[in-house]
Structure 1
């Protein structure tokens, strides 16, 4: 593999799903635009903006959200380093969500109109794209179960453990403890809970030695313990068929 592909955001992501030959790597490299830095709290795009590209999150964290009529918001997803941002919207002319940086971040743009070239040039890349979107859909389905049928303790624990598994997928180093740049308000908006409810649940988790909070960060002290609280089953995050 070339040095350029070693540094490529999207090549690294695609290779977590399937081995890419040199031609596929070079095709991705030719279509990917260079990384740009985005400061914390910067809006990447607003709902209704023109949908002309998706991005690979090389460094940092972001979230997608919808503003509601009553002034509140629903956080739809939290993106971790290595994730693809905006892939759900590539078939729409306008953005269906807004995206904001949760920390200082670095993103690589991938113009939407270049997808036709990928689809016509590489069966491997087409397959990987399908696997990525299928796994994204599985995460959303599990999120619906989490929102609708689990207690507040289970919701919070499940969401945090899922993030740790997703970080492993993008080759991040994860032990039994992990620091996340997530405020209580972001988690409340993601899980349909009040800030007071999140704070009370976090107090319980702190007393149980599962996590620490402070300065808009979460430190997961015992991921295995949180997994037990959530009754977490990683089946929906399993490796693609091609790796079996």
Structure 2
């Protein structure tokens, strides 16, 4: 739960009571999933909001012939479909990339914080709006950026999001995505992904060591991807407000 709290506190300074109820919710109904399995499938009837406690997952759509489009990545501290209760059935699937721990958050939990913890609700609205902004940026990525710009932009976004959650170490971070994952997320073929990664490596923009990504110069990678972090809305005036204001 610490990754979610750290992220939400980019918007609001949470109180001890706020953190306590979030910690409680993140420890009561926890499930473990192995890598490359579905947490929820398209057509399922949603019951809970899934909070990623650890590991990486993704939201995806799949055609009948097996072609898949990854439409977002879930990192530790991310909530999957905050407003899922209003839907009759899932219109997409959520699958794991690595082993994942999930906390299932009930409708009753959200009813409770809606009436008693307004600062958490305000921060969750911020998180929901940031997710919508990320989806708009992914549309721009697929429609307008070149392959190298597309890949550099995605790597920058993931690095920034991991850093917000406290999951980077200086210029490096965990990076368990395969070239097939990157192809499904960027709309490129696996051959094109391989060629694009080699280009980014050869110019010194990234270093990939096993399942670790190293970004020697983040500003250079941002320039290569035409990346502007404004859509992540990390610098908010509300971040300076006390939880009890």
User: Same fold per TM (> 0.5)?
Assistant: yes
With over 3 angstroms needed to count, the CA separation of the structure-2 counterparts of 1:234 and 1:13, relative to structure 1, is closer
**Contact 1:64-1:75 at 8 Å conserved across structures:** yes
- 1:128 is matched with 123
2:91 to 96, 118, 127: 96
1:132-143 to 2 correspondence within 5 Å?
132-143=127-138
Shift of 1:214: 6.9
1:39-78 to 2 correspondence within 5 Å?
39-78=34-73
TM-score by length of 2: 0.86
Q: Supply the distance in 1 between the matched residues of 2:172 and 2:15 (Cα, whole angstroms).
A: 35
With over 3 angstroms needed to count, the CA separation of the structure-2 counterparts of 1:70 and 1:116, relative to structure 1, is same
Does residue 173 of the first structure (1) align with residue 173 of the second (2)? no
- Point out where structure 2 has 5 or more consecutive residues left out of the alignment: 241-245
**Contact 1:138-1:236 at 8 Å conserved across structures:** yes
Q: Secondary structure at the match of 1:93?
A: coil
**Contact 2:4-2:76 at 8 Å conserved across structures:** no
- Point out where structure 1 has 5 or more consecutive residues left out of the alignment: 1-6
Of 154-163 and 113-122, more deviation after overlay is shown by 113-122
Shift of 1:221: 3.9
**Contact 1:13-1:170 at 8 Å conserved across structures:** yes
Shift of 1:176: 2.2
Q: Secondary structure at the match of 1:109?
A: strand
Q: Supply the distance in 1 between the matched residues of 2:78 and 2:4 (Cα, whole angstroms).
A: 9
Does residue 17 of the first structure (1) align with residue 28 of the second (2)? no
Q: Secondary structure at the match of 2:168?
A: coil
Equivalenced residue count is 237
Shift of 1:124: 1.4
- 1:147 is matched with 142
Q: Secondary structure at the match of 1:126?
A: helix
With over 3 angstroms needed to count, the CA separation of the structure-2 counterparts of 1:30 and 1:179, relative to structure 1, is closer
With over 3 angstroms needed to count, the CA separation of the structure-2 counterparts of 1:174 and 1:58, relative to structure 1, is same
Q: Secondary structure at the match of 1:37?
A: strand
Of 112-121 and 131-140, more deviation after overlay is shown by 112-121
Instruction: Report the RMSD for the aligned CA atoms in angstroms.
Output: 2.3
**Higher RCO, 1 vs 2 (CA within 8 Å, ≥6 residues apart):** 2
